[in-house]
Structure 1
Amino acid sequence: MQFLDEDFLLTTKTARLLYHDHVSALPIIDYHCHLSPSLIAGDHRFANLTEAWLAGDHYKWRAMRANGVSEAYCTGGKPDAEKFARWAETVPYTLRNPLYHWTHLELQRYFGVREILNPTTASGIYDTCSGMLQTPEFSVRSILTRMKVEVVCTTDDPADTLHDHRAIAASGFGTKVYPAFRPDNALLVDNPAAFNGYMERLEGATQQSITTYGDLLMALRNRHDFFAANGCTVSDHGLEEMYADDFSVDTVNRVFDQVRLGQLPDEASRRQFKSALLHQLAEWDHEKGWVQQFHLGALRNNNTRKWRELGPDTGWDSIGDFAQGRALSRFLDRLDTNDHLARTILYNLNPADNAVMATMIGNFNDGTIPGKVQFGSAWWFLDQKDGMTQQLNTLSNMGLISRFVGMLTDSRSFLSFPRHEYFRRLVCRLFGEEVEGGELPGDIPWIAKIVSDICYYNAKQYFGFV
């Protein structure tokens, strides 16, 4: 077997049959990502491979830094060709890191380049791919079409105008591009300056003053309704941990007032505020029939010096070791008590919590729909061969893998869709090995249906995308 040949990761005859005959041609539903709706609306063409591949990609930046590459070649102002050259120097040192697979899958699937990227091949690959990216066949919309991307859900702040989403919808573009409501900035009571700056932005979006907690709820409800009117059916939260403390109206109002004055309330009071607001947001999601997503467990902005220099989302985050189970149970149960729990997807970043998540979802799957509460796909640091396999095995052992809604990219890059292929090959590998090992029956039509559902049809049904 050659490196990244057509049977990459497919270790058995059954795995190859499942993938090539049943899965490989399925469309992609990317229900959580960080793609720019502006680039889609404008059908952007990238100037070169660096812009398309390295800009905003903190996965690659972290690898380059670990390889001794100066920040000037990551987020700094060095010329694009030089940045790419330093990335090409780093790639040979990423062996056994998922970046090595992703890099070469992307070169193959988008550009037909089968050379190994290294300093010797870098210049030719850069020139070839950059030239292709400047053609109409490699515009952003053309890329989405070629990769059979049926649906994209971006990640959008409540204060966003959604101008680009409306423009995309009006254009008749074949890929459906929907906003996802991510109100994390409304929870920033740990940072009064950031919270108050966000209140100003939200006031601008709603054309109303926000001087009380009630005003904040009105503003967020206004935006929740606005997002729904523009096709949104999904919310998303990125939290260290779930907040589900008991709260009082008086305490929540007091926290809001203090933070608006630039004061920092005590931690217990801040937790009450977050618990109250998250519960209210979840009530609205249920009311509208949305799917709510919770990404839990990231320990963010660990390097204070670099965070101050470069800002968030530049590669200084890690897996956290937060206690997730009890608060998550209380949060979900508080909603379920009144039968107000929306369809919910839980993502964890710490693999030590896999079994917690896989068993937690079973507490709230009430039989109303298949897989109402989901253990989401391996996320961020875990969306690699080992992390995906662990997530799939844990869900199989403690839930119903057959009802799983499958993969997403969680990416800012339009060149990241081979991650769906990577996931699909791993799913076929797992089922194929167990069929040939006598652990599963050789009922290929049924196995193929289950695998196809995991890779595409379950998500289509769960989200109701048409």
Structure 2
Amino acid sequence: MSRPLTLHPDRLLPADPTTRAAARTLYESVAKLPIVSPHGHTNPAWYAENQPFADPASLFIVPDHYVFRMLYSQGVKMEDLGVPRIDGGRIETDPRRIWRRFAENFHVLRGTPSAMWLAHAFHEVLGIDERLEAGNADAIYDHIDACLKRPEFRPRALFERFGIEVLSTTETPLDDLRHHRAIAASGWTGRVVTAFRPDIVCDPDMPRFHADVAELGRITGRDVASWDGYLAALADRRRYFIEYGGCTSTDHGHPTAFTADLPRHEAEALFRRIMAGDAAPDDVELFRGQMLTEMAAMSLVDGLVMQIHPGAMRSQNELVKRVFGEAKGDDWPSATDYVHDLKPLLDRFGNERDLTIILFTLDETTYSRELAPLAGHYPALKLGPAWWFHDSPEGIRRYREQVTETAGFYNTVGFNDDTRAFLSIPARHDVARRIDCGYLGRLVAEHRIDMDDALEVAHDLTYRLVKKAYRL
């Protein structure tokens, strides 16, 4: 006999009755506010073409590394979950069989954010009232599959149903933005913008760096063999992203937060070494650091908000990287040093009031020691929300506890979902709203903030701060 799937109305709110009552009042005031999703990785083709999602497995399992990394840790092969191999080798292609395997192992997600996000999507979006398990896998698969064939479950209809006001995807400088241009030409009123992610042509450790820089030169008509031509080509593509993708932000996923501000002749010499393939490992890190400073300079000209996402050791599992490629759930948090690494950039641009640089971290130890003090001082800096591995109830709660005393609320930028899993977007934002209201509810219960101020802060954290920070 299947077990019921229910969502308690007070889930994630504090257990203490007085604090919970305050948190509930705050949550009810923001629960239905529009979703602003300023950073994510959903496919813009979904909104451009508005075709039905293919099947439950390709919607919930194959693209979601939060899900398949946990099953992989329990010995489930990625091939058996339909994750494509680089070499085109054999994988499971029957979505029903993938779903059954997922259902058999669904219990391993207990206690994780993925379990909460999936429960929300199943119950609130798809109307499922049973917990997924092996015995009902086919019945739930058939229910979801039938839903996906209906017009109200197409991407644009769900976008509107979720109350998404604006959503950002992420593209490289080589993308022609055809899907964003198609959305703009379609007459649909949903707002989907792009973010400019230049890593493939700013990080010499990228596997196709030289070929991609050459392609950057080809599509811009610039001489990218020269330092000036290379920078001009990047500036051209930023303008293209603004004009044809509604772009308001850049995104930089460097291994560290290291920055540099070299004299022009040294920067040119470094670029020549990089392009000649003669660079030492220290040169690669120096070049990445110089490019963060160059991007900040460009942002002062074109107004794009900078996001810096350092501190991830990418593709740590060599076997997974070799067989399946990158972004397959094998990226790890690593230690960061923001105070020293950012100093060259901050010496030049930290006091600029017309520049916004949003800092993220996977190294939680830096929140109270480094990031909150930095954002609590420099006009150009803001703190990004708890990101990846920490975009969870405990992670979001720790974030507020560690940064608020030093940075306040108004040097933070709300929440972003950073997801490839479209149906998890409302769930993720709901979790953030509940945790933030729980934190504010405690401040009210402890008489550290009045309820009227807390209501205003809750609205700011949910909606206003993100729109202001990302210039949306």
**Given the two structures, how large is their TM-score scaled by the length of structure 2?**
0.91
Distance 1:435 1:221 in 2: 47
Deviations 1:252-279 (A, max 9, x none): 3344334434x24113333332232221
Q: Which residue of 2 aligns with 1:419?
A: 428
Deviations 1:54-107 (A, max 9, x none): 122111111110121112123152111111112212221222121211111111
Secondary structure, counterpart of 2:181 in structure 1: helix
Deviations 1:404-446 (A, max 9, x none): 321111001211211000000111111223323x3335x4333
Q: Which residue of 2 aligns with 1:349?
A: 362
Percent identity over the alignment? 29
Bigger Cα displacement from structure 2, 420-429 vs 278-287: 278-287
Q: Which residue of 2 aligns with 1:458?
A: 465
Q: Which residue of 2 aligns with 1:257?
A: 272
Distance 1:297 1:309 in 2: 24
Output aligned runs, 1:197-208, within 5 Å: 197-208=211-222
Q: For structure 1, which runs of at least 5 residues remain unmatched after alignment?
A: 366-371
Output aligned runs, 1:2-401, within 5 Å: 4-11=7-14, 12-20=20-28, 22-74=29-81, 75-76=83-84, 77-78=91-92, 79-190=94-205, 194-230=208-244, 231-261=246-276, 263-336=277-350, 339=352, 342-355=355-368, 356-365=370-379, 373-401=381-409
Distance 2:448 2:127 in 1: 36
Q: For structure 2, which runs of at least 5 residues remain unmatched after alignment?
A: 15-19, 85-90
Is the 2:6–2:129 contact (alpha carbons within 8 Å) kept by the matching residues of 1? Answer: no
Q: Which residue of 2 aligns with 1:405?
A: 413
Distance 1:363 1:107 in 2: 43
Distance 2:129 2:297 in 1: 50
Is the 2:117–2:428 contact (alpha carbons within 8 Å) kept by the matching residues of 1? Answer: yes
Which amino acid in structure 2 is aligned with residue 101 of structure 1?
M
Is the 2:41–2:170 contact (alpha carbons within 8 Å) kept by the matching residues of 1? Answer: yes
Match of 2:437 among 428, 448, 464: 428
Give 4+ residue runs of structure 1 displaced > 6 Å after superposition.
none
Which amino acid in structure 2 is aligned with residue 64 of structure 1?
L
**Two-structure CA RMSD over aligned residues (Å):** 1.9
Is the 1:104–1:117 contact (alpha carbons within 8 Å) kept by the matching residues of 2? Answer: no
Which amino acid in structure 1 is aligned with residue 301 of structure 2?
E
Which amino acid in structure 2 is aligned with residue 353 of structure 1?
T
Is the 1:88–1:117 contact (alpha carbons within 8 Å) kept by the matching residues of 2? Answer: yes
Secondary structure, counterpart of 1:96 in structure 2: coil
Which amino acid in structure 2 is aligned with residue 9 of structure 1?
L
Distance 2:115 2:298 in 1: 42
Is the 1:137–1:143 contact (alpha carbons within 8 Å) kept by the matching residues of 2? Answer: yes
Is the 1:98–1:384 contact (alpha carbons within 8 Å) kept by the matching residues of 2? Answer: yes
1:282–1:451 CA distance, 2 compared to 1 (3 A): same
Is the 1:63–1:90 contact (alpha carbons within 8 Å) kept by the matching residues of 2? Answer: no
1:189–1:404 CA distance, 2 compared to 1 (3 A): closer
Distance 2:70 2:343 in 1: 36
Is the 1:32–1:154 contact (alpha carbons within 8 Å) kept by the matching residues of 2? Answer: yes
Is the 1:359–1:398 contact (alpha carbons within 8 Å) kept by the matching residues of 2? Answer: yes
Which amino acid in structure 2 is aligned with residue 347 of structure 1?
F
Q: Which residue of 2 aligns with 1:369?
A: none
Is the 2:50–2:154 contact (alpha carbons within 8 Å) kept by the matching residues of 1? Answer: yes
Is the 2:57–2:95 contact (alpha carbons within 8 Å) kept by the matching residues of 1? Answer: yes
